[in-house]
Chains A and B, each alone.
Chain A
Amino acid sequence: MMQSVTLNDTQAIAIGAGILGTGGGGSTYLNRLRLDHELRAQGGAVPVIQADDVPDEALVCAVGGMGAPTVSNEKLQEGQEIKRAVRALEEHLRREVYAVVIGEIGGGNALGPMITALQCGLPVVDGDSMGRAFPELQMDTFMIYGLSPAPFALSDSHGNVAIFTRIGSAQQAEAFARSLTIEMGGSAGLVMPVMSGADMKATIIRDTLSLAKRIGEAVLDCRARSIEPAETVAALCNGTVIFTGKIVDVNRRTVEGFARGRLKISAFDDFDTQMEIDFQNENLIARVGDEALCTVPDLITLVSLDDGEAIGTESLRYGLRVAVLAMPAPKELKTPEALAVVGPRAFGYDVEFCPMAGDLL
């Protein structure tokens, strides 16, 4: 069982988070750099606890960053934004937070919460609310299973903190948070939701932080032994490699603010055997001919064939040699309530969800 995160773990976690990102979730580069810097400066490690170690009545909160990547790459954070938002919510509620929870294990937001945990002297819970990456705030198990989005807090580099004490829905939280983020200079720290230990335990997807680390370690091990990592990674996630080949076409368009598109991969030995993958920030459906081999919320990730590094949908281009990993979603994403929010129909596809056998973990 994972006890802590040290400098030795961050590379593996970043690689694993990239693979769980299903093509989205943003780059892990800056957050890993920040976490490493913080771990070096403070020494020591981020304590990791199991969801079931959290008392029912304790208070925990999920945290993450909000904003445009172009802005966050230029106006780097002051660093204590999220910590101040956590402290402000503690003051507001007159209660202390017991542990930090990862909102999204896929991509860059997997690493940010560990920085906050280190700064606050709190442990981070081994788990998250997506088991992958999704584009919107309401697409997580905390919201799907009815936890309240309020109160939530947003904070900037100047020390400003805004707390929303009441909010109608997760969708409204998303809209308000987004416009305030612009005023805050285009990037902000977000704490949402704040919840009881009991609520967290009823809704969280357990052990995804250790899974990310195991995936990353397996990739690093394969690299050290000059083995292509795809099969090993798929097996770790109860999934399979459904295709290997070369990207032969990438067709993108922007629809309602989302980067939608479709890519085609040709098998190495036969150009006409092709897989098509539809994406909308994340990879959503993988087809060969008319047959859907994998559909959201099951995980579809492209990894570079030789080094196993996940390929984000923004970096797709002709000629990349890839393996397509299909991994079953965690069971929490496959209930009727969850599928209404994160199933194929929620993304505009008139397709039934055809689940892969098994669960992510």
Chain B
Amino acid sequence: MRIGIDVGGTNTDAVLMDGTTVVSSTKTPTTANVSEGIATALRDVIADSGINAATIDGVMIGTTHFTNAVVERKHLTPTACIRLGLPATVCLPPMVDWPLDLRDLVGGNAHLAHGGHEFDGREISAFEPDEIREIAEKIKAAGLKAIAISSVFSPVNATFEEQSAEIVRSVIPDANITLSSEIGRIGLLERENAAIMNSCLRQLAARTVDGFKAALDELRITSPFYISQNDGTLMNADFAKEYPVLTFASGPTNSMRGAAFLSGLKDAIVVDVGGTTTDIGVLQHGFPRVAALAVEIGGVRTNFRMPDTYSIGLGGGSLIDPHPKSLPHREGGTSLTLDSPSLLVGEGAGGWGEVKVGPRSVGYELTEKALVFGGDVLTATDVIVASASADIGDRDAVSDLDAGLVTAVEARIMEMIAIAVDRMKTSATPVPVIVVGGGSILVTGEIEGASEIIKPDHFPVANAIGAAIAQVGGECDRIFSLAELSRDEALDQAKQEASDRAVNAGAAAASVDIVDVEEVPLAYLPGNATRIMVKAVGDLVGA
């Protein structure tokens, strides 16, 4: 048995799964101290099923906690950055494209040094150990321990980053160092940004992961626990402490993987309706389609392999604005309520054609502010309850809503979803659409361009299910000299290495599959060098 947990900004969801069966599930509010919420969810899901904690084989946690820390500018450790590439790259120093408030928080302590490579493998300039030592002394004097190191074209050749790290450690033995080559791809500013964010999140990561562990200990769960990564595979707790940025996109990834699992479909569009936003993504062969362009996190550009999602401001808590054009100067903050008498009577001139849904939302306060929960704000959820498509809260609270308005809102919601779905499609051919997430009740009709609409069982906790079913992966990313090996021998060797790593990480050997192979020939290097990247994934042993 395994437990999947999804710690979102609003809710912490947990599911207990026996093989492919969902035994029990729960949704609890996320707490300021995330481990408390996790402990509650764990307690609920275990109590609900009546199982013995000792029979749990693994706990998989997906969390947006680190993403939120960057977005909310909380718990970030001041970080220094060393970039190797002089005399090139001076025109745009590290952190130049960060929002000022975030750069101030992180400290903006940046240093340029010689080194780096050209696109064809030549050195831009020679590596200078003394220069790095001097910089390390300055960073030490500034009292910083978190350090990111980037070097031009390090995804092709990382030796200068590695040599620098060694020197920095000799000066600052307990330095927390992130190499850009371990994290990102070609595109210096974006990769460097990711490395800096990783270092500035590590303290929080250590605290948070220890907190997860404490929550498990409290419930006497002794099984190993894992954190889910951007690509839908798991990392163990120690690895998560080292690479918190690799969790940045695990939310949408888990939701899409969960949708694939629940529906049994491998190619489909996934519509995840939350409280404030709806995220639309594409499943290809059971995995999320990856974004081709730079992705911004908290205003900072990065180039992670993130799921390609399109978000619209539509969710269960979305505010309904019946006359957006007639109230052009309404300030944000006020919201339409049932006190506005025109909502109760049939609208005369113009009808409800201009009704607007979102993007403003009551968010996590839905259960206090929505009409059906005794509040005084008209939300999308209220309209859906009024239409009798869903039965939550107090239906009487919305019985007076104008029927024309209800129909118009439902139509508007379906139109918004249809347009967003259409944007994500790669062709005009109709495709299946899987609807998941707590706000799924908003989807009441047909979606244009969808061959079918699937609302699987357990749709509100698809994220947690995605975490629970996650596999473990292993990678090989090495430069092979094809002068000594044939291309096939090199590929075989790389695949073997990746598979071995997946098994070492906990995968059952028989289940390991190679899911990605990428070859990058490196011109102008002696010996016909080629960089080979292979990724293998497999199912956790015993789960």
Which residue numbers of A lie inside 8 Å of B, CB to CB? 30, 33-34, 37-38, 68, 70-71, 73-79, 157-159, 185-186, 246, 248, 315, 317-321
Contact = CB atoms under 8 A, between A and B. Distances in A.
Contacts of A70: 119, 186
A76 B422 contact: no
Ordered nearest first, which 10 A-B pairs have the shortest CB separation? A79-B91, A157-B88, A76-B89, A319-B423, A185-B118, A186-B119, A78-B87, A74-B188, A77-B91, A78-B90
Nearest to B449: A319
Contact of B87 (A68, A159, A246): A159
Given A75-B119, A158-B87, A185-B124, 7 more contacts: A70-B186, A75-B88, A78-B87, A78-B89, A185-B88, A186-B119, A186-B120
Contacts of A38: 91
Q: Which residue among A75, A246, A320, A321 has the maximum number of chain B CB atoms within 10 Å of its CB?
A: A75
Contacts of B92: 30, 33-34, 37, 76
Contacts of B293: 315
A62 B189 CA distance: 28
Given A33-B96, A319-B423, A319-B425, A76 B87 contact: no
Chain B, interface residues (CB within 8 Å), range:
20 to 34
Interface of B: 85, 87-92, 96-97, 116, 118-120, 122, 124, 152-153, 186-189, 293, 419, 422-428
A74 B97 contact: no
7 contacts: A33-B96, A74-B119, A74-B187, A76-B85, A185-B124, A319-B424, A319-B425
Given A33-B92, A74-B119, A318 B85 contact: no
Contacts of B426: 317-319
B102 to A, nearest CB: 16
A37 B425 contact: no
A79 B90 contact: yes
Given A33-B96, A73-B186, A74-B186, A318 B425 contact: yes
Nearest to B191: A74
B188 A75 contact: yes
A226 to B, nearest CB: 9
Instruction: Identify the interface centre among B87, B293, B425: most chain A CB within 10 Å of its CB.
Output: B87
B88 A76 contact: yes
Chain A CB count within 10 A is highest, among B89, B91, B186, B422, for: B91
A248 B429 CA distance: 10
B428 A75 contact: no
Contacts of A34: 91-92
A204 to B, nearest CB: 27
A52 to B, nearest CB: 33
Central interface residue in A68, A74, A76, A158, by most chain B CB within 10 Å: A74
Contacts of B428: 248, 318
Contacts of B91: 34, 37-38, 76-79
Contacts of A75: 85, 88-89, 116, 118-119, 124, 152-153, 188
A186 B188 CA distance: 15
Contacts of A321: 419, 423
Nearest to A266: B428
B160 to A, nearest CB: 14
Nearest to A71: B119
Contacts of A78: 87-91
A323 B428 CA distance: 19
Interface centre among B88, B96, B116 (most CB of A within 10 A): B88
A157 B87 contact: yes
Nearest to A271: B428
Nearest to A157: B88
A320 B153 contact: no
A186 B87 CA distance: 15
A82 to B, nearest CB: 11
Nearest to B428: A248
B153 A74 contact: yes
Contacts of B120: 186
A185 B118 CA distance: 6
B232 to A, nearest CB: 24
B180 to A, nearest CB: 11
Contacts of A248: 428
Contacts of A185: 88, 118-119, 122, 124
Nearest to A182: B120
B118 A73 contact: no
A245 B261 CA distance: 35
B314 to A, nearest CB: 15
Contacts of A319: 422-426
Contacts of B90: 76-79
A337 B96 CA distance: 45
B310 to A, nearest CB: 9
